[in-house]
Amino acid sequence: MKTQVAIVGAGPAGLLLGHLLRLEGIECVIVERQSPEYVLGRIRAGVLERTTTDLLDRLGVNERLHAEGLQEAGFALADGERLIRIDTHGLTGKYVTVYGQTEVTRDLMSAAPSRGLEIIYEAMNVGLHDVDKEAPYLTYTKDGHTHQIDAQFIAGCDGYHGPSRKAIPATVASEFELEYPFGWLGILADVPPCHEELIYANHERGFALASMRSKTRSRYYIDVPLTETLEDWPDERMWNELAIRLGPEAAANITCGPAIEKSIAPLRSFVFEPMRHERLLLAGDAAHIVPPTGAKGLNLAASDVAYLSDALISYFNKNDHDAIAAYSDRALARVWKSERFSWSLTKLMHRFPEDGPFERQMQLAELDYIANSVSAQTSIAENYVGLAL
Ligand code: APR
Ligand code: PHB
């Protein structure tokens, strides 16, 4: 098979890129290791920046997003007692939309056939070849046969564990990484949210987040030591802990219910530079990971893809090689700012094992400063709704 852009990975990054390229008539194919059901089984964050919803609007993949997405005008930081509201809409004029990543993926998958976007699922042993030559190609096996896709570019949208990043020689690359000493235990339940807006809490006992998927489905998290497992956290213990950490106002409104999903995820900050090597271009989790505080993961994947599709469209329509050359620097400038915001919100809202009473006072002082400073709130709001592309 021959195409213009071969895309590895049918997560949000690969699907968005495929749609944006097809919209301009550029030929592309996505190869994905998993089945569609498996891809849709992954539960991830659910807060979309305007930059992300604008892309979905541009693609016309927005019917359910507008019907079911919740427009949020603000969110709260909590210090164990009070809620400090950040009026994101009042301070920036922008809303964020609560709409699960799983639903974004489902919508992009359903709209693929009508856009002429081919996705090859259950493609095993995907290999990237000649990425530093004029004619790169992918190989994969499916149904016992080996297949080859010749392309002009390969887009690595295959997440943190995919093979694309590894095809860039270590001699030209730099990696920046930070692992956090706790994980997030998440619970999804069909109960109404305890508050209209998200609450990120830093209680003496640890972090908690009250989020939602809809008016009848809630998503909550607490941080737990990496040594703990799901067996340590039966539903009842989790609900009790949430009520304490979120503070009295939220606790008064919490509705408990059985978990539909429960999982523990580690937290990591990671950036790989550069995001392009010759004819291989990386986007999304393949190139960077943020801790989930602030919900930037999917939004960063979307902004990468906005830059990358622009570059590829300029190349194919105007023979503009400079746009391809500029992609990595353009994307990384925004990546690093989202990394900074996610890291700083993580530092502000979590207790670290090495922290003593002094660090605790620093966190409380910062929260009190934020509570009383419109400038501080504006800075948080601007980052939370998403920096301009
Ligand atoms: N061959 C083909 N596909 C692969 C391979 C492989 N060897 N390895 C991984 N993949 C696929 C995965 O199965 C997955 O469907 O690549 C896809 C990558 O998707 P994501 O991990 O969702 O990454 P991305 O599309 O960059 O989306 C970023 O998703 O991971 C979250 O928190 C992250 O919200 C962020 C967003
Ligand atoms: C979620 O709803 O799953 C969610 C929301 C906000 C975050 C992370 C996760 O920062």
CATH of the domain at 149: 3.50.50.60
Q: Domain for residue 375, yes or no?
A: yes
Per-chain mean pLDDT for the chain: 97
- What is the gyration radius of the CA atoms in the chain, in angstroms? 21
Q: What is the band of 81 on the pLDDT scale with cuts at 50, 70, 90?
A: confident
**Pair (148, 62) in one structural domain:** yes
Q: What confidence tens digit (pLDDT) does each residue in 249-308 have?
A: 999 999 999 999 999 999 999 999 999 999 999 999 999 999 999 999 999 999 999 999
**Pair (57, 140) in one structural domain:** yes
Residue with tokens 């980052």: 383
Share in percent of the chain as helix, strand, coil (round to 5): 40, 30, 30
**Pair (41, 110) in one structural domain:** yes
**Pair (159, 275) in one structural domain:** yes
Q: What is the band of 201 on the pLDDT scale with cuts at 50, 70, 90?
A: very high
In the sheet with 70-72, reading across from the earlier edge strand, the strands are 47-48, 96-98, 70-72
Please answer whether residues 78 and 199 qualify as being in contact, where contact means their C-beta atoms are separated by less than 8 angstroms.
Answer: yes
SS3 string, 74-114, reads CEEEECCCCEEEECHHHHHCCCEEECCHHHHHHHHHHHCHH
Above 90 in pLDDT, residue 98?
yes
**Pair (316, 185) in one structural domain:** no
Q: Domain for residue 84, yes or no?
A: no
pLDDT of residue 213: 92
Q: Domain for residue 157, yes or no?
A: yes
pLDDT of residue 297: 97
Ligand nearest to the CA of residue 38, numbered in listed order: 1
**Pair (204, 296) in one structural domain:** no
pLDDT of residue 45: 85
Closest C-alpha to ligand 1, atom 8 = 162
This prediction has a pTM of 0.97
User: Which residue out of 44, 187, 199, 219 has the highest number of ligand 2 atoms within 8 Å of its CB and is therefore the one to mutate?
Assistant: 219
Q: Average pLDDT of 183-198? A: 97
The finding on whether 46 has its CB within 6 A of some atom of ligand 2 is yes
**Pair (170, 251) in one structural domain:** no
Q: What confidence tens digit (pLDDT) does each residue in 44-62 have?
A: 888 999 999 999 999 999 9
Above 90 in pLDDT, residue 80?
no
pLDDT of residue 44: 84
The finding on whether 386 has its CB within 6 A of some atom of ligand 1 is no
Q: Domain for residue 86, yes or no?
A: no
Q: Is the bond into 274 cis (omega within 30 degrees of 0)?
A: yes
pLDDT of residue 117: 98
The finding on whether 45 has its CB within 6 A of some atom of ligand 2 is yes
Q: Domain for residue 90, yes or no?
A: no
CATH of the domain at 198: 3.30.9.10
**Pair (187, 237) in one structural domain:** yes
Ligand nearest to the CA of residue 138, numbered in listed order: 1
pLDDT of residue 42: 85
Q: Average pLDDT of 328-346? A: 98
Q: Domain for residue 79, yes or no?
A: no
Strands 280-282 and 153-156: parallel
**Pair (186, 249) in one structural domain:** yes
**Pair (150, 233) in one structural domain:** no
Centre of ligand 1 from the C-alpha of residue 9, in Å = 6
pLDDT of residue 34: 98
**Pair (135, 244) in one structural domain:** no
Amino acid identity at 104: V
Closest C-alpha to ligand 1, atom 26 = 284
Amino acid identity at 276: R
98 CA: nearest ligand 2 atom:
2
Ligand nearest to the CA of residue 220, numbered in listed order: 2
Q: Domain for residue 41, yes or no?
A: yes
Domain that holds residue 131: 5-70+98-176+268-346
45 CA: nearest ligand 2 atom:
3
Q: What is the band of 341 on the pLDDT scale with cuts at 50, 70, 90?
A: very high
**Pair (360, 378) in one structural domain:** yes
Nearest to 183 by CA among 268, 269, 62: 268
Q: Average pLDDT of 212-231? A: 96
Please answer whether residues 167 and 293 qualify as being in contact, where contact means their C-beta atoms are separated by less than 8 angstroms.
Answer: no
Q: How many domains does the chain have?
A: 2
DSSP per-residue letters across 16-66: HHHHHHHHTT--EEEE-SS-HHHHHT-----EE-HHHHHHHHHHT--HHHH
Q: Average pLDDT of 312-326? A: 98
Looking at the chain, the whole-number percentage of residues with pLDDT higher than 70 is 100
Centre of ligand 1 from the C-alpha of residue 52, in Å = 17
Closest C-alpha to ligand 2, atom 1 = 45
Closest C-alpha to ligand 1, atom 21 = 159
Please answer whether residues 154 and 136 qualify as being in contact, where contact means their C-beta atoms are separated by less than 8 angstroms.
Answer: yes
Q: Domain for residue 80, yes or no?
A: no
